[in-house]
Structure formats: structure tokens, C-alpha cells
């Protein structure tokens, strides 16, 4: 399947959202996991101590969401009760339904294939990101997802490198580029972002890797992108202490704590970077083999499905919570 301009818009929008985030100063940071507290930089990764209490696992079809630690010591948000059948889900794409006609059967968000392409609510307060219903048959069940898409802006000048949504204002602007700031330039003849400023300084929006630099990265399939790569961490490794009496042990060895399961973490560094999202989208489009990032295939189906891609997006935007 050929790579579409829409997939590049999705990635560019995600990148701009990440780069436009307000930086956190000093050693403090935010790991995006609502089940941790006192988040600090540790060996280039943001992590915190366990916080006991309620949370939101992002699944409308579960209830009693709460923080806990799994068998591997990962801090996760878990909903352990099914939502009532008929509960709205998928941002308006479907309803929660049991997958089998017997008591206690798992409840999943399911929808009607006629709703494919319908607008849905992602719950992201930025008008540059729009939701589109995607109804995908998984094991004979029409699973419903709200798929993120970057708002399509009207072409005002015939230049494929202009007319994109400004993530700061939510408005279409002719002078906004879809390329990675500082590390790419757009070729007006092709509309493709090309690497520049190799080794130059850039901002990867990660306070824990302050010495970031541009690096031309070959993603395979003829795709080379200029990505902002995190530099060697310069922030000392702190000692983590439990919050509210939680069971998290202190970190005195210098090893990086794991924030939780991370969909799309191709290199297993505890976070999802822009280049990993690029890989995930291209696997979903059929342009890259799954072997380039098996971490997207959470259900071991041999492919990257819409819900797994959305999970990777959430990992990039919100951190590697479960």
C-alpha cells in the first residue's frame, strides 16, 4: 500500500503537539502516568513513585479503575469490572457489549461498520486533531475506535509544504510546515520533509535529555527523516521514595524504573518517540514489515491495527502508562 499524505499529516501533528508542550524545569518532570507521583528525571527517563488511588485506564468499557503494580513492578491503571452493556464508547463510534452470551464475559467497544469514517470525539482539547470512527473486525467482532487525524486545511497557494494547522492556535495557517522544527525542511516539488542541520541543536520536549540534536534517520522503504534525538542525560539520578505509603522500592542502583507497558516502544527505552510513531504508521499502512517494531502488535495478530496505533499515539502524548 502506498504511503498517503494523510499519514504524514498525522505524524506531523503529533510531533508539533509534543514540541509545543511547555518544558518542565530542573529535575522535576511529568511521566504522563497518573498512578505515579513525585516524578523526577532518572538516567534520561522521567519516572515517579507509586500513587495509590483512582485513575482512568482510557477504556470506557471498564469500571473501578485504580492504580496498582503488576507482577513485573510496573505501575499501571487497571479497570477490573465491566461497564454495563450499552455504555457509549469509542468517542461516539459504538457501545460496550459482551463478547459472548454468558455472565462475566469480557465487554468490548463494538460498532456498526456503517459508522466508518464518521466524526467522533477523541477528548483532545485541540481543534487540530480530529477523530474519525474506525470499525475493525477483530475475531468476528466489530471493534470500534476513534482514530486521530490531523485537521485538513484548504490549499491556498498550491504549495504542498504549506497550509497546515497551527497547534498553538488551532487555526489553519499558510506559513505552518508539517516538518520537524530545526531538523527538517520541506521540498516544495514533492511535499516531502528532508533532513537538515545534522548534529545541530533541537528540542525533543524531554527535560530529561537536554542535549538533543538533529539526526537523519533511515526508516526503511526509502524514507529518511530528520528527527530530534535525545542526547546523553545530564540530570543526576535521584533516589525515588514511595508516595502515600505505596510499595515502590527506592531506586539507588541507577537503573531506570519502568513506568509501565508501552505500546510502540520499538527500542524498549520506556518512551515512544516520533520516529517510532513513523514506523508504526508505516507498518499499519503496509509500507514497513512488522519486524521493524513488534512492540506495536500487542495482540500478536501479525499486523498493526488501528487500536494499537492509537495506543502508540497515547504513549507518545501521555507517557508510557499501561
Contact 171, 165 (CB under 8 A): yes
> Across the chain, what does the average pLDDT equal?
75
Question: What's the pLDDT at 9?
Answer: 43
Band (pLDDT 50/70/90 cuts) for residue 149 is confident
Q: Is pLDDT above 90 for 118?
A: yes
Residues 1-5, mean pLDDT to the nearest whole number: 35
Cα 318 to Cα 150, 265, 291: the distances in Å are 18, 13, 25
Could you tell me if 85 and 98 are in contact, meaning their C-beta atoms sit under 8 angstroms apart? yes
pLDDT of residue 211: 81
Determine the Cα–Cα distance for residues 107 and 193; give it in Å rounded to an integer.
Answer: 42
Which of 5-9, 46-50, 107-111, 144-148 is predicted least confidently?
5-9
Higher pLDDT, 254 or 317: 317
* Average pLDDT of the segment spanning 249-266: 47
State yes or no: pLDDT of 87 exceeds 90.
Answer: yes
**Residue 77: which residues within 8 A CB-CB, separation 6 or more?**
33, 34, 35, 55, 56, 57, 58, 65, 66, 67, 321, 322
Residue 217: domain span: 5-318
In this prediction, what percent of the chain has a pLDDT beyond 90? 15
Tell me how many domains the chain contains: 1
Q: What is the pLDDT of residue 15?
A: 47
Q: What is the mean pLDDT of residues 116-140?
A: 86
Selected residue with higher pLDDT from 281 and 112: 112
- The predicted model gives 23-48 an average pLDDT of 76
Under the banding of pLDDT at 50, 70 and 90, the label for residue 23 is very low
- Model pTM? 0.57
Residue 120 has pLDDT above 80, yes or no: yes
Q: Is the pLDDT of residue 281 over 70?
A: no
The pLDDT of residue 307 is above 70 = no
* pLDDT band per the 50, 70, 90 thresholds, residue 292: low
pLDDT band at 145 (very low <50, low <70, confident <90, very high): confident
Band of residue 110 on the pLDDT scale cut at 50, 70, 90 = very high
Amino acid at each position: 500500500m502506498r504511503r498517503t499524505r494523510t499519514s504524514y499529516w498525522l505524524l506531523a501533528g503529533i510531533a508539533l503537539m509534543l514540541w509545543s508542550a511547555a518544558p518542565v524545569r530542573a529535575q522535576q518532570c511529568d511521566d504522563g502516568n497518573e498512578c505515579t507521583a513525585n516524578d523526577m528525571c532518572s538516567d534520561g527517563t522521567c519516572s515517579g513513585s507509586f500513587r495509590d488511588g483512582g485513575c482512568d485506564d482510557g477504556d470506557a468499557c471498564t469500571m473501578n479503575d485504580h492504580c496498582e503494580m503488576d507482577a513485573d513492578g510496573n505501575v499501571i491503571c487497571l479497570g477490573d469490572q465491566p461497564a454495563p452493556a450499552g455504555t457509549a464508547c469509542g468517542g461516539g463510534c459504538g457501545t460496550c457489549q459482551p463478547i459472548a452470551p454468558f455472565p462475566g464475559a469480557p465487554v468490548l467497544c463494538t460498532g456498526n461498520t456503517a459508522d466508518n469514517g464518521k466524526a467522533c470525539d477523541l477528548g483532545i482539547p485541540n481543534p487540530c486533531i480530529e477523530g474519525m470512527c474506525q470499525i475493525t473486525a477483530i475475531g468476528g467482532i466489530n471493534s470500534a475506535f476513534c482514530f486521530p487525524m490531523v485537521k485538513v486545511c484548504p490549499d491556498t497557494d498550491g504549495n504542498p509544504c504549506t497550509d497546515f494547522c497551527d497547534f498553538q492556535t488551532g487555526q489553519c495557517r499558510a506559513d505552518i510546515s508539517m516538518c520537524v522544527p530545526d531538523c527538517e525542511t520541506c521540498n516544495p516539488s514533492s511535499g516531502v520533509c528532508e533532513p537538515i542541520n545534522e548534529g545541530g541543536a533541537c528540542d525533543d520536549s524531554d527535560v530529561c535529555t537536554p542535549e538533543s540534536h538533529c539526526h537523519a534517520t533511515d526508516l526503511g522503504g526509502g524514507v529518511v527523516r530528520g528527527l530530534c534525538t535525545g542526547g546523553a542525560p545530564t540530570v543526576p539520578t535521584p533516589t525515588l521514595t514511595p508516595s502515600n505509603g505505596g510499595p515502590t522500592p527506592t531506586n539507588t542502583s541507577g537503573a531506570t524504573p519502568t513506568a509501565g507497558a508501552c505500546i510502540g516502544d520499538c527500542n524498549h527505552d520506556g518512551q515512544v518517540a516520533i520516529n517510532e510513531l513513523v514506523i508504526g504508521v508505516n507498518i499499519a499502512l503496509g509500507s514497513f514489515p512488522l519486524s521493524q517494531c513488534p512492540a506495536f502488535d500487542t495482540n500478536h495478530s501479525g499486523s498493526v491495527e488501528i487500536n494499537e496505533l492509537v495506543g502508540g499515539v497515547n504513549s507518545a502524548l501521555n507517557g508510557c502508562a499501561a
